[in-house]
Amino acid sequence: MQPIFGILIPFLGTSLGAACVFFMKKSLSEGVQRALTGFAAGVMVAASVWSLLLPAIEQASGMGRWSFVPAAAGFWVGVAFLLALDHIIPHLHRNSRQVEGPQSRLSRTTMMVLAVTLHNIPEGMAVGVLYAGLLAKNAQITAASALALSLGIAIQNFPEGAIISMPLRAEGESKRRAFFGGVLSGVVEPVGAVLTILAARLVIPALPYLLSFAAGAMLYVVVEELIPEMSQGKHSNLGTVFFAVGFGIMMALDVALG
- Position 220 scores a pLDDT of 92
CB 34 within 8 A of CB 202: no
Q: Of the ranges 103-107, 151-155, 158-162, 185-189, which one carries the lowest mean pLDDT score?
A: 103-107
* Model pLDDT for residues 33-79, shown as the tens digit of each residue: 788 888 889 998 998 998 899 989 988 888 888 989 999 999 999 99
Q: Of the ranges 12-21, 133-142, 209-218, 237-246, which one carries the lowest mean pLDDT score?
A: 133-142
Which residue from 80, 82, 88, 151 is spatially nearest to 119, judged by alpha carbons? 82
Rounded to an integer, what distance in angstroms lies between the CA atom of residue 97 and that of residue 207? 39
Q: What DSSP string describes 67-116?
A: THHHHHHHHHHHHHHHHHHHHHS-B--TT--SPBSS-----HHHHHHHHH
Residues 6 or more apart whose Cβ sits within 8 Å of residue 2: 134, 143
- Position 97 scores a pLDDT of 67
Span 221-240, mean pLDDT?
82
- Position 74 scores a pLDDT of 94
- Position 243 scores a pLDDT of 94
- Position 24 scores a pLDDT of 77
Residue 106 has pLDDT above 80, yes or no: no
- Position 76 scores a pLDDT of 96
Residue 86 has pLDDT above 80, yes or no: yes
Q: What percent of the chain is modeled with pLDDT above 90? A: 19
- Position 26 scores a pLDDT of 65
